[in-house]
Amino acid sequence: MSATFPGEFLWGAATAAHQVEGNNTASDLWAFENAPDSFLPERSGDACDSYHRWPEDLDIVRDLGLNSYRFSIEWARVEPAPGHVSRAHLAHYRRVVEGCFDRGLTPVVTLHHFTTPAWFRAAGGWTAADAVARFRDYVRAVLPILDGVEWVCTVNEPNMVAMMSAMVKRGERKENVAGAMPPPDQDVADALIAAHRAAREELAALPLVRSGWTVANQNFQALPGAEDLAADWAHSREDQFLDVAKDDDFIGVQAYTRVIIGPDGPVEPEADVRRTLTGWEFHPDALEGAVRHTARRVGPSVPILVTENGIATADDTERVEYTSAALTGLARAISEGVDVRGYQHWSLLDNYEWGSWRPTFGLVSVDRETFARTVKPSARWYGEVARTGML
């Protein structure tokens, strides 16, 4: 069964600064990775050296036939010390923006993708009294380099940030299944909501900008008798963050798999269930479920931009299989009236996945020694979909 997409559709690939740039030495995560007692198995180090090799990365995006690129600005580089704004790093990110324009790519810019300056965390992080004001100052400093940019994500996956904060407080290291995490630290969640609103106020000074934030969609599915519990899980971990977007210019959907809720909480998938390199269930229908749920929650006046979707696999044919099924479901939702404006595949590059290099999500592999990029067959396939708008 063929699927078609609107003519004006953003086809892109996504990255995040800490995961691809390398040597983000002023960030909180760099400090955490390199602490003597860190439980993370690997370090980001040079990452993919995209801080220097971004022109090559943008060339790949263009040459594949994509028309957009999602990337993040690293707060720790822009403001490595409190109140000290680096003009050099701002100029760097402006060059990336202009590099997108020069190649006919629409930049989708994220202002906060998980990492913060080390000094910000040391001062109390998101629950510090001046946290929102500090973030507002950072956004104000970035405004000049966003001239001409249309799509700006304020905060990436605030629900994950708040849930991870709760895990740290509880001394937990990982969840059993994707999304099966403790409820968010509500103080952190509330601060992120306030920071998002402050950022949108600042971004309103730029007439072309559409601003919103991205939410990690968990696709909570209830077993018989667990409907109320699943609704509670969805509300605390996802829906309260979607509700914030009801007055935004768009909402970013990020979906990979599902979480099944039984009477006692999350249910681990059966032993024979197909899984990805992250241990998540292979479930490409997650994307369609996520956009439909998000559309119901935020209402028809808020467009959806798929800001992340992909699969961690060492088998590139499996990447095509997963993405094809995910896009088929997305096209079905669009045909039935869900307002989706674009799709950003996660990720452009095999990159540092928050503690490990093992999960390979990329359309492009990267040699860890030479940083040489190799475009995978899945990237060629995806580029053809983008050029034709058809599956």
CB within 8 Å of 119: residues ≥ 6 apart: 26, 81, 82
Q: Are strands 259-262 and 265-266 parallel, antiparallel or unpaired?
A: antiparallel
DSSP state of 206: S
**Residue 157 annotated among the catalytic residues of the structure:** yes
DSSP state of 247: G
| Residue labelled with tokens 């045909």 | 335
Q: Give the Cα separation of 73 and 91 in Å (integer).
A: 11
- CA-to-CA separations, 80 to 68, 74, 87, 88, 179, in angstroms, rounded: 29, 10, 11, 12, 32
277 in helix, strand or coil? coil
Q: Could you write out the DSSP letters of every residue in 48-114?
A: T-HHHHHHHHHHHHHHHT--EEEEE--HHHH-SBTTB--HHHHHHHHHHHHHHHHTTPEEEEES-SS
For residue 72, which amino acid is it?
S
**Do the beta carbons of residue 260 and residue 223 sit within 8 Å?**
yes
Catalytic residue among 33, 79, 157, 288: 157
Element (H, E) at 29: helix 28-33
Q: Give the Cα separation of 304 and 137 in Å (integer).
A: 28
φ, ψ for residue 316 (rounded to 5)?
Answer: -70, -25
301 in helix, strand or coil? coil
Q: Are strands 251-255 and 210-217 parallel, antiparallel or unpaired?
A: parallel
| Residue labelled with tokens 């507002």 | 136
Q: Give the Cα separation of 254 and 290 in Å (integer).
A: 8
Both structure tokens of 36: 């003597």
* β partners of residue 68: 12, 106
CB within 8 Å of 57: residues ≥ 6 apart: 15, 20, 50, 348, 349, 373
251 in helix, strand or coil? strand
> Active-site residues: which are they?
157
